[in-house]
A and B are shown apart, each in its own frame.
Chain A
Amino acid sequence: LAKTTQPISMDSYEGQEVNITCSHNNIATNDYITWYQQFPSQGPRFIIQGYKTKVTNEVASLFIPADRKSSTLSLPRVSLSDTAVYYCLVGDEDNNNDMRFGAGTRLTVKP
Chain B
Amino acid sequence: GAVVSQHPSWVICKSGTSVKIECRSLDFQATTMFWYRQFPKQSLMLMATSNEGSKATYEQGVEKDKFLINHASLTLSTLTVTSAHPEDSSFYICSASQGARNQPQHFGDGTRLSIL
Interface residues of B in 92-116 (CB under 8 A from A): 93-95, 97, 99, 101-110, 112
User: In whole Å, how far is B57's beta carbon from the nearest beta carbon of chain A?
Assistant: 7
Give 12 A-B contacts (CB < 8 Å), ordered by A residue. A34-B104, A34-B105, A43-B6, A43-B93, A46-B106, A49-B102, A85-B43, A93-B101, A93-B102, A96-B99, A99-B46, A101-B46
Report the separation of the CA atoms of residues A108 and B54 in the bound assembly, to the nearest whole angstrom: 42
Let me know if B68 is at the binding interface, CB within 8 A.
no
Interface residues of A in 60-111 (CB under 8 A from B): 85, 87, 93-94, 96-97, 99-104
Number of interchain pairs (Cβ within 8 Å): 59
Let me know if B34 is at the binding interface, CB within 8 A.
yes
Report the separation of the CA atoms of residues A44 and B102 in the bound assembly, to the nearest whole angstrom: 17
Interface residues of B in 49-87 (CB under 8 A from A): 49, 57
Let me know if B25 is at the binding interface, CB within 8 A.
no
Check A42–B109 contact: CB distance below 8 A.
yes
Q: Which residues does B use to contact A, with CB under 8 Å? A: 4, 6, 32, 34, 36, 43-46, 49, 57, 91, 93-95, 97, 99, 101-110, 112
By a CB distance below 8 angstroms, the chain A residues around B110 are 41-43
Interface residues of A in 20-65 (CB under 8 A from B): 32, 34, 36, 41-46, 49
Report the separation of the CA atoms of residues A102 and B44 in the bound assembly, to the nearest whole angstrom: 8
Given contact pairs A41-B91, A87-B43, A99 touches B34 in the complex (Cβ within 8 A)? yes
By a CB distance below 8 angstroms, the chain A residues around B103 are 96
Count how many chain A residues have C-beta atoms less than 8 Å from C-beta atoms of the other chain: 22
Of chain A, the residue at the smallest CB distance from B10 is A41
Check A99–B95 contact: CB distance below 8 A.
yes
Closest 5 CB pairs of A and B: A43-B107, A46-B104, A101-B44, A96-B97, A101-B43
Check B91–A96 contact: CB distance below 8 A.
no
Q: Which residues does A use to contact B, with CB under 8 Å? A: 32, 34, 36, 41-46, 49, 85, 87, 93-94, 96-97, 99-104
Report the separation of the CA atoms of residues A106 and B22 in the bound assembly, to the nearest whole angstrom: 29
User: In whole Å, how far is A51's beta carbon from the nearest beta carbon of chain B?
Assistant: 8
- Beyond the given A96-B99, A102-B43, could you list 20 further A-B residue pairs with CB under 8 A, ordered by the A residue number? A34-B104, A34-B105, A43-B4, A43-B93, A43-B108, A44-B93, A44-B95, A44-B105, A44-B107, A46-B106, A87-B43, A93-B102, A94-B101, A96-B97, A96-B103, A99-B105, A101-B36, A101-B45, A103-B43, A104-B43
